[in-house]
Every structure is written in C-alpha cells, then in structure tokens.
Amino acid sequence: MPHDTLFTPVALGAISLPNRFVMAPLTRCRADANHVPTDFMVDYYAQRASAGLIIAEATMAVEGNSAFGGREPGIYSDAQVAAWRKVTDAVHAKGGRIISQLWHGGRACHSLLNNGAQPVAPSPLRIENDETHTPQGKKPYEVPRELRDDELPGIVAGFKRAAENAKAAGFDGVEVHGANGYLLDEFLRDGSNRRSGPYGGPIENRARLLLEVTDAAIEVWGADRVGVRISPLNSYNFMQDSDPVALTRYVAEQLDRRSVAFLDLMRGDFHGVQKADVVSAARGAFKGALLVGMGFTPDEAEQTVAAGTAAAIVFGPHYVSNPDLVERVRRAVPLVEPNPQTLYTNGAEGYTDYPMLAD
C-alpha cells in the first residue's frame, strides 16, 4: 500500500519533523567503561539521521545507576557531554533531529555494576523472573533499597542537571524515560510501588515523581521540547499494574496540562502478559502529539497516522538493521531483520555494518 501520510511533516511542539518515522531509544551497549559515547555511536546515529526524529538510547541521568552490563552511556560528566556533542553534530550535519532520553535504572541496576552500591527503588521488591549481565557473569537481580521521601528531590535535581547537560551537548530536546520497569516507571505502577506517603498509594501519588522530573526538564527546555515515554502494559522487568488504562489516562491528562511536546506510548507488552487498549485512553486525554510504538509494520503505521490516532510511529528493532528505514519504506524494499546475537555486543558488527541502499 502507499505510505503517503508517513512522509508528511509534523510538529512535536517546537521540533519540526520532515516525516512520521521516529527511531525508538534502543540500548546497544556501545559506550565505553566510563559510560562515555564512542565513535561507533557517532557513526550509528548519523547513519539513521533520515528518521523524522531520533530518540537516543536510555542515558544515565544520575551517576552510579548502571543497569546494562556497564556499557550504557551517561550524561552527567563533562567527557560524556563532549562525546554526545560529536553525536548531535553528526546527526545535524545530515539534516537530522535527535533528543536525549534521560533515564535512571532503579531496581534493574546491580551492585557489581555500580561500585558495590545497592540498587534503589520505591519499594524493596526485586525483579524475580530474570538475571542481569555483570562483570562476573549473569547474576540474579538484587533486592533494592527503598528510597526515602527526602531523597527524591535529589533524584529530581539529578534529572534536571542531565537536562541541562543535554542542552549543552546539542540535543534538540529531551524525553523523560518513564517506561519499561526503570525507576520512574517503578514509582508509577502499583506492582512495584507498595509504599505509603506522598509517593505511594493512589495513582496521583505514584505519578508524582515522574511529573516532578518532567517539570524539572520543562524548566530547562520549555514544555515544547520535552516528551515523556510510558509503557503501562509492558511486563518487562517484572512489571505490572492493576489498572493500566486508568494509569495511562491520568498521566496523559497531567502531561496535556503541561503542554509537553509529545507523549511516547508503548502500546503493548513484550511478553504478552497484560492486554488493554491504552492507546484510546491516551488519545482521549492527551490533545498534543501522541507517538505510538511496538510492533508496527509500515502498513499499520500508515493506517494509524492517517486515521489521526498517532502523530508519528516509533520504530524499534527495524531501526537496528535498517539505517535508511525511511528510504526503504519509500521504495517498498523489504526490510532487513536484526541479528539478535549482536544487539548488545561492544563493536561495529551488528551496529554500524548493516547495509544502506545504494543511491
């Protein structure tokens, strides 16, 4: 089918996109041991600059919260900011747009990745159904330490510094990572947040930390260059919520009041455990630009955007293996499937060596 709507421009707040293809934040573990972006990453993002928008991978806002084998990037040091500037300059030189995704690993972190520091979370509940990669091999997740209420302003301040660093690094905006079982999502969902007080209990309290972080990012960037990602159904990292539709609706309403640039909604569950229509809940409560992702084909993406359900579609795995995804869809060329064996290795193989179409 033709994909005419996907190739039309759209505005996400102050960020103007030439098309409706958004590259998902894809953790690829190519930073160095000090969480500094590498030249591999400069090439990788530049190759994908034809996307309407690149959302860069989950990036540590606060030092000491590594959760991906010690090789995910950060944005808390001068060296990291300088290295990210090389990435953003390369993307901009090719006419692209790129925003930073600000992230805290929460209970998905491990002491072996963080100089012995115990992971932190809203409640002392560990991830039970998986193990994590550490310098000593795969290990069970640890029971996290429950954060005190008086520690949470420091978390917010860390995210604000990260937002300031993202501006210094030349990004076009930021996305607050409130998804996939990391710290802000752990506060959001009642399966991982069992605390009482101002940050626990009803939805309004559980969403407080996410919204405080969002407000801090808005102070730095203005609402029209801040987006938020949520995954109310995704059970990855041992997550669940008793009422994901109500959670989606409340967060969407609050973000709508703030006039953020976009809401980035993961519509499903990687593991198929939870099912609900969170897209309609978000669309009904959020009047701004709604991005939707998880499992879209180009045909379904076209239908979803043409119907007005989403402003743009977030593509994940196919951006791993199709750096020129936009052109491949334009020419109706079959998409390349990614090699799962090289997703999280540390070199160029399976990262910057996927072929581009000949001009």
Catalytic positions are 182
* Cα–Cα distance for residue pair 109/120, rounded to 1 Å: 8
> Residues in the chain, how many?
359
Q: Find the helix or strand (DSSP H, E) in which 101 lies.
A: strand 98-103
Eight-state DSSP code of residue 150:
G
Q: How far is CA 91 from the centre of its chain?
A: 18
> With contact defined as beta carbons under 8 Å apart, do 47 and 93 qualify?
no
Helices (H), the chain: 39-47, 78-93, 152-168, 183-188, 203-206, 208-221, 244-258, 278-285, 298-306, 317-321, 325-330
In angstroms, what CA-CA distances link 29 with 70, 92, 132, 149, 260?
8, 23, 14, 32, 29
3-state per-residue secondary structure call for 289-349: EEEEECCCCHHHHHHHHHCCCCCEEEECHHHHHCCCHHHHHHCCCCCCCCCHHHCCCCCCC
Longest dimension (CA), the chain: 59
Scanning the structure block, which residue is given the tokens 């090699």?
339
